[in-house]
Copies of this chain bind each other. A is one copy, B any other.
């Protein structure tokens, strides 16, 4: 058994690196959204032409990014959704809902102060982790049956 894991959500800290490095040696292929914030915001107009209206500027970018995001989620066995300490992060919650409707195994990753606001998202998840290392431990256990320590 191998796993495909999609890492959704917050792009300002090194949580993806901590997971992918921690998981070295396991039979996992990881996918993520484009995490270059500027590129992600501007991809639509950079490729397809400028928009004077910011709404359509954003729309063009979000649609191009959706090509990658949807494929990533649809092919994943496990979707890890990270909520950081700042910003609205509605796209992360949207991804979680999208994954839930497809019956994906969801692991959330967030600090305790978000617990109440994320209760509906957590209720659709099979695990709620506080650290990237816990996510790695889950993936290792799922693939190998071995526990930490």
Q: Does A23 contact B (CB under 8 A)?
A: no
Number of copies: 8
Secondary structure at the A interface, as helix, strand, loop or mixed, is helix
Question: How far is it, in angstroms, between the C-alpha of A65 and the C-alpha of B120 when the chains are bound?
Answer: 9
Question: How far is it, in angstroms, between the C-alpha of A146 and the C-alpha of B47 when the chains are bound?
Answer: 11
Give a binary string over A31-67; 1 marks a CB under 8 Å from any B CB, 0 the rest: 1001110011011101111011111101111111111
Q: Do A55 and B115 touch across chains, with their CB atoms under 8 A apart?
A: yes
Residues of A within 8 A of B (CB): 1, 3, 31, 34-36, 39-40, 42-44, 46-49, 51-56, 58-72, 77-78, 83, 87-103, 105, 114-124, 126-130, 134, 137-138, 141-143, 145-149
